[in-house]
Every structure is written in C-alpha cells, then in structure tokens.
Amino acid sequence: MSVNGEVLFQIDNLCKSFGANLVLDHISTEIRSGEVVVIVGPSGSGKSTFLRSLNLLEMPTQGTISFEGMNITDKKTDINKYRQKIGMVFQHFNLFPHKTILENLTLAPIKLLKKSKEEAEAEARALLKRVGLEEKENAYPAQLSGGQKQRIAIVRSLAMHPEVMLFDEPTSALDPEMVGEVLNVMSDLAKEGMTMIIVTHEMGFAKEVGTRVLFVDEGIIKEENNPEDFFGHPKNPRLQEFLSKIL
C-alpha cells in the first residue's frame, strides 16, 4: 500500500461549533492519496462531524480544508462539483427507497455525469457483480438485508468514480453477522488503492486495513499513529483508557 502519495486533504485549524457547543477544536492534519485513515473515539467526540466536514455536510465555523490544493471552504467553490469526487457511505445506508437497486446506482451518473442510460447500467451491473448482488438489480431497497443495503450504498458512491471514499460508521447499524460482508468490500477497495477515511468502532478492521489511525476526543486529534503502535503502544492516557474499555 502506498501511503506516500500526494496530499489530497490539507486541513488547517478546523473548528465547528453548534451554538455554544464546540465540537471540533482547531483540528489540523493532512490526508494523502492512497491512505486508509481510520478515526476512532468515544461517542460525541466529534469524529463524525470531522468526517462530514470533509464533504461539507457540516460547514466549518472556522479554519480551512483544501482538496488537491483548492480551498473548498471558500464560498466560491462549486460544492456540487466537488462532492462528485467524494464518495460518502452513511450509517443508515440512505438508499433511495422509491427506486430500484439499478436506478439507485445509475441516477447520479446519468444526471450528473451525463452518461447514457446504457453506459450507466452496464457500469452499474459490473459494480453489482463485484459485490455479489447482480441478481438484485430490479429489487427495491426495502427487500434487502442491512448488509446488502450497505454494499449497494458503497457501489452507489463508486458509480461516480470518486477520488476519496468517506465512511461514517458503516457497520454500526448492522446485525453482527452482516458486518463481515461489508468490511470485506471495504478491504478490497483499500487493496485497490482507494483513499479512504473511515469512522468506525471495528478495531480489528482498523488494525488490519488502516494505514493510519486517529484518536479523536473532545474535538481534538489526541493521538495519531500507524495501527501497530496505535494499538500496541498508546501514549495518550485518554486513548489508553478508551482502548482498555473496548479491547
């Protein structure tokens, strides 16, 4: 895995507050192409807010985020164009319930990338095959299991050919026996060199697939390291406490 790619995200003094509540407190870091960054931390620590800031689902109150050298927090940036490059997978899948699986996958490529219906469908079918759900193309989301829905949500994002994939607790809403199938898809994606930023509680996955792990607590990155040292030799007392509770 190449972790020494060019800098994709340059994040400087990112702050986000909801009213008087400061959720992100001057976060600075950079994320390089090909990295698989796993973000862990207690609930309410700001890790989801940080992830959602990266595609501006949360507008930062202060600080800047640059993507490939372009300041995306600038008001003049075309947010919609930018978001096409950033895939996002949600905890609750958020598939479109009124559309078939195939339509879920082809809607954005047809409308936004102006692909022909045939081209978009051919590509969607290839993606469905890749996650083993090719026979579900005419099903509706309500007919799928949680694990299947999340795999569809991942390929729906991939259909836009994103440069980065964001995962916001992708397995937290799943039954335990379905977690594996989703993590497998994510591992494959990481092996192909996709840049990924993942908020998760799956520590085993973080160890195995992550190239870097961030510990976010009280809106601050309290520790960041490679997975081996992060889990083997945690330095921050809050992280030690956190790990002792969950491992």
Partner 1 sequence: MEDFKLRFYTNFIKDDRYMYLVKGLGNTLMITFLAVLLGIALGFLVAIIRSTHDKTGKAKLLNTICKIYLTVIRGTPMMVQLMIMCYVVFGKYNINKIIVATLAFGINSGAYVAEIVRSGIMSIDPGQLEAGRSLGFSYAQTMWYIIMPQAFKNVLPALANEFIVLLKETSVCGYIGMMDLTRGGDIIRSRTYEAFMPLIAVALIYLVMVMALSWLVGKLERRLRTSER
Contact footprint for partner 1 (CB under 8 A): 55, 57, 80-81, 83-84, 86-88, 90, 92, 94-100, 107-108, 111-112, 140, 142-143, 156-157, 160
Q: Which is nearer to partner 1, 51 or 203 (CB)?
A: 51
Minimum distance from CB of 228 to partner 1 (Å)?
32
Do residues 148 and 133 touch, judged by C-beta distance below 8 A? Answer: yes
d(CA 51, CA 196): 11
Which of these, 146, 144, 126, lies nearest to 136 by C-alpha position?
144
Q: Are 23 and 52 in contact (CB under 8 A)?
A: no
Smallest distance from partner 1 to CB 2, Å: 26
Nearer to partner 1 (CB atom), residue 127 or residue 221: 127
Q: Is the dihedral of CA 234, 38, 8, 92 positive or negative?
A: negative
Question: Among residues 3 and 112, whose Cβ is nearest to partner 1?
Answer: 112
What is the spatial distance between Cα 42 and Cα 104, in angstroms, rounded to a whole number? 33
Taking the complex as a whole, the smallest distance from the CB of residue 125 to partner 1 amounts, in Å, to: 19
Our CB check for partner 1 shows the closer of 64 and 91 to be: 91
Q: Rounded to whole angstroms, how far apart are CA atoms 119 and 172?
A: 34
Q: Which is nearer to partner 1, 42 or 82 (CB)?
A: 82
Nearest approach, Cβ of residue 237 and partner 1 (Å) = 35
- Whether residue 216 contacts residue 41, with contact meaning beta carbons closer than 8 Å, is answered with yes
Q: Least Å distance between CB 144 and partner 1? A: 11
